[in-house]
Every structure is written in structure tokens, then in C-alpha cells.
Amino acid sequence: MSETVKLGEISIQVTRKDIKNVHLSVHPPDGRVTLVTPKTTRLEVARAYAISKLGWIRNQQEKLNRQARETPRQFVERESHYLWGRRHLMTIRHRDAKPSVVLDHKRITLTVRPGSAAAKRSQIIHEWHKSLLHAVVPALIRQWEPRLKVRVAAYFLQRMKTKWGSCNHRAGHIRLNTELVKKPRDLLEYVLVHEMIHLIEPTHSERFISIMETHYPSWREARAELNELPLGAEVWRE
């Protein structure tokens, strides 16, 4: 159960959990603020803590407002597309044959049938993105399973509007956002490890943070880098 604290124009969602320390977060892309406190914390105490951090909250929200945002892709000639954190230019070729995508240095060549719509081009690129992720994700899972002493029963790739990844810890399933193919590879690894640790600890508890610190000590830097990269045209959250 959560409650809301209002500080002027800022609304803060307050959630009580079985933790020892307070966690204040400002989430991209719109600066949504959450405050997770120990179960025994009174609402007025949470409010006082939020007031003491008001300057920091506003500073984080300003950073998000200044952050670059991608415009929706049209999949046309010389349009910029990101792949593993690097910018590539798109070349369109028309041919009455099965569509294909070829990556050559800094150029992505998309071959489509004459008259193909933007939606069809988007679908082709999305399937190509999934193939690139399928080429690297299994090896990462095999690398981290013995370290974390967990087993991923299955993983899935899909467009996700609100998360970079998710975990069904009971089934042992992990889902990854296909947008991660646009980010540096180490950020894909960070999200994957984050979700694999949820197989051990399903909540963002003190135990979860302790396991992250032990196995992926640079997780805070990775999270910050992921949040500082250009945002997609969709609305994304952590």
C-alpha cells in the first residue's frame, strides 16, 4: 500500500517495506518521485525527509528535463539509428525480394519491397534487433548463472513501455526490453544481472541491494548511465 506526499507541485509516492534504510528516487523520463521507507516510518517523518531532499529532487528533475529525447523513427534514408550505443545511418534499398538488414561499419542497410510502409520497416528492424539480442543474451546468462547460483528457465525479448526488464521468479523467466539493443552492451548486462538477482530476491530489499553490491559493484554507475542516455520516443521508466 502506498500514500502520496505533496510538496508544492511535486507529488511523492511513499511506500513502506521491510527495509532498514530510506530510498528516494527520481525516475525518468518525467521526474516521477518515489520514497520507500521502513514499515514503522510515520507519514509525517517521511514528509520531513522529503522536504530535506527537496533541492536534490528538483536538481534531478531538471537533469531529466534537459535530457535528449529521440524522435520517433521513420526508417528513411540517412536517418540516425543507435546500435550498442553507437550511431549509424540508415540506407534504404528497394528490391522485390525478401526484406533484409545488413550492418556495415556505421551504416545499416535496410532492403524492402517497393512501396513498403513505415510500420513494415519498423517490424523488420525490430525482428533484426531481437536476432542481435538472441546472439548475445544466452552467453551472458551462462556466464552469470554459476556466479549467482541461479538458473534461468527461459528468457523473452519484447517491446516494454515501462521497464528495461522484468522477472517472474517463480517460473524462473526473465523478460528484456528490445530497446536495450540500442544501448552499450554493458548496460544490457547490468539489466540482465539485475533481473537474475530477482530470482534470488524478488523485491528491491536490503538483501537485493547487498547481492547487487557483491556481484555487480558498479550497478549504480550503470543505472545512472542508462538513465542519462537519450530517451526513446516512448515513455520509459526504470
* pLDDT tens-digit readout, 34-67: 999 998 999 999 999 999 999 999 988 887 776 6
pLDDT recorded at residue 31:
83
Residues 6+ apart with CB under 8 A from 58: 10
Q: DSSP string of 91-134?
A: EEEE-SS--EEEEETTEEEEEE-TT--HHHHHHHHHHHHHHHHH
Give the phi and the psi of residue 2 in degrees, each rounded to 5. -125, 155
Give 238 or 124, the one with higher predicted confidence.
124
Write down all domains in the chain, each with its CATH number in brackets: 2-66 (no CATH), 80-133 (no CATH), 137-228 (3.30.2010.10)
Question: What end-to-end distance do the CA atoms of the chain give, in Å?
Answer: 20
Residues 6+ apart with CB under 8 A from 137: 155, 157, 176, 188, 192
* Percentage of the residues of the chain whose pLDDT score is greater than 70: 92
pLDDT tens-digit series, residues 126-177: 999 999 999 999 999 999 999 999 999 999 999 887 688 999 999 999 999 9
| Average per-residue pLDDT for the chain | 88
pLDDT recorded at residue 233:
40
